[in-house]
């Protein structure tokens, strides 16, 4: 009896195990479709517009990047050692030639000028006396009341007095020039971009106090790869893009530095651009360098639709409509480059409104 009981238990266990396996395979699920037998959904091709994928020759360009720079940047510096009394401008201010920018303490300079003028007065008095003495000695010489040597001494004294007067007058002119340096004026029209001084600071000769640039003379300075540098020459027109203000314009190659950077293997080029508001030195800029035309496989851009992260197109294949994933590239005038997924001659369905 025990043997029969054990056999029944084993058989029941096997039956339960088999039923479980069939259930996991979906044998008890009605309407199941066998793997690999699902037909691709197709539609009739009547009343659809198709365009053939084809190669199209398009202009090809390379880009070089750089920064906006001013053709003329001026550093305003002091020519004398003096304390700063006032600074009349700040970064961003537009100035005109002749505008007063900085005033320096000129009290020492005024004192030196006054001393030089007093020295001139003294020299004039000395010259007047020397002239009168020479004239008197000249009369005495005619009557032989004095010797020739005494008269010659008076002539020399007059000449010395005249030379000292000239020297004193030159010192006055120098003192006036030095005093004029106490007021620093704009040497040209421009915009202040940097201020490195404040009232109370000590200005030293040659020390930069302000920096200004001419907003009407801007250009893009870009580093162009060696192999592309030969495609441009001075006077060529190139397309310039200023991303910060979403502006595109035409520039002119004005300068090509005849030396390549050994680290980057590039040549510096300077491209002049027209004056535009909102463009400042230091902004990022790009230029397009024309290359040889290249053929690209293209289809209408509107025929590509996004499905999540995928790019999909609808194809007409054997009078049926199928869907295929593609990978696209650049766009030109309504067409888009197909990098993979299509071959030349494939028929792409385009929405009727975009055909």
Q: pTM for the complete prediction? A: 0.57
Tens digits of residue pLDDT in 127-153: 999 899 888 888 888 888 888 888 888
Res 102 pLDDT > 50: yes
Helix (H, G, I), strand (E, B) or coil at 298: strand
Rounded to a whole number of angstroms, the distance between the first and last alpha carbons of the chain is 85
Given a contact cutoff of 8 angstroms between Cβ atoms, the answer to whether 222 and 66 are in contact is yes
Q: With cut-offs at 50, 70 and 90, classify the pLDDT of residue 39.
A: very low
Q: Where in the chain is the domain with CATH 2.40.30.170?
A: 63-72+215-291
Dihedral-angle region of residue 278 (phi above 0 means left; psi in -120 to 50 means alpha; beta otherwise): left
pLDDT, residue 37, reads 36
Of 27-31, 40-44, 55-59, 95-99, the least confident: 40-44
What is the CATH code of the structural domain delimited by 75-211? 2.40.50.100
Q: What is the mean pLDDT of the chain?
A: 85
What is the pLDDT confidence band of residue 13, given thresholds at 50, 70 and 90?
A: confident
At residue 85 the predicted structure's pLDDT band, cuts being 50, 70 and 90, is very high
Average pLDDT value for residue range 268-276? 90
All CATH 2.40.420.20 domain ranges of the chain, comma separated, are: 49-59+295-354
The answer as to CATH 3.40.630.30 being correct for domain 63-72+215-291 is no
Pair type for strands 94-95 and 49-52: unpaired
Instruction: Compute the distance between CA of residue 240 and CA of residue 61 in angstroms, rounded to an integer.
Output: 12
Answer whether 32's CB lies under 8 Å from 26's CB: yes
- Give pLDDT tens digits for 320-331: 888 889 999 888
CB count within 10 Å of CB 151 equals 17
What is the mean pLDDT of the segment spanning 162-183?
91
CATH annotation of 49-59+295-354: 2.40.420.20
Q: Which residue has the tokens 């201020």?
A: 195
Residues carrying CATH 2.40.50.100, the chain: 75-211
> What local confidence, expressed as pLDDT, does residue 41 receive?
45
Given a contact cutoff of 8 angstroms between Cβ atoms, the answer to whether 274 and 68 are in contact is no
CA dihedral over 200, 203, 207, 211, signed as positive or negative: positive
Neighbours of 12 (CB within 10 A): 10
Q: Residue range 328-348: average pLDDT?
A: 87
């Amino acid at each position: 009896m025990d043997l029969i009981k054990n056999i029944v238990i084993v058989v029941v266990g096997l039956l339960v195990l088999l039923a479980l396996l069939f259930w996991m395979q979906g044998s008890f699920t009605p309407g199941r479709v066998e793997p690999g037998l699902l037909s691709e959904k197709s539609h009739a091709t009547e009343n659809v517009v198709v365009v053939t994928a084809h190669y199209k020759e398009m202009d090809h360009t390379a880009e070089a990047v750089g920064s906006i720079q001013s053709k003329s940047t001026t550093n305003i510096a002091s020519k004398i050692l003096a304390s700063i009394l006032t600074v009349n401008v700040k970064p961003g201010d537009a100035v005109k030639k002749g505008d007063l920018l900085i005033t320096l303490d000129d009290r020492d300079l005024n004192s030196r000028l006054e001393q030089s003028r007093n020295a001139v007065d003294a020299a004039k008095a000395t010259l007047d006396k020397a002239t009168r003495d020479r004239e008197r000695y000249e009369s005495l010489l005619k009557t032989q009341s004095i010797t020739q040597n005494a008269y010659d001494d008076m002539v020399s004294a007059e000449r010395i007095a005249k030379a000292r007067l000239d020297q004193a007058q030159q010192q006055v002119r120098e003192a006036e020039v030095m005093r004029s340096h106490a007021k620093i004026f704009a040497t040209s029209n421009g915009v202040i971009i940097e201020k490195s001084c404040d009232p109370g600071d000590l200005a030293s000769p040659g020390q930069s106090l302000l920096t200004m640039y001419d907003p009407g003379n801007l250009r893009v300075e870009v580093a162009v790869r060696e192999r592309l540098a030969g495609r441009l020459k001075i006077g060529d027109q190139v397309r310039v893009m200023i991303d910060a203000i979403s502006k595109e314009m035409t520039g002119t190659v004005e300068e090509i530095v005849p030396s390549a950077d050994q680290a980057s293997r590039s040549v510096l080029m300077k491209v002049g651009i027209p004056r535009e508001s909102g463009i400042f030195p230091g902004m990022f800029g790009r230029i397009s360098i024309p290359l040889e035309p290249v053929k690209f496989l293209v289809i209408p851009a509107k025929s590509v639709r996004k499905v999540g992260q995928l790019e999909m197109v609808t194809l007409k294949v054997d009078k049926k409509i199928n869907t295929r994933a593609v990978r696209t590239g650049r766009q030109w005038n309504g067409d888009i480059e197909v990098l993979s997924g299509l071959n030349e001659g494939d028929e792409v369905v385009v929405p009727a409104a975009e055909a």
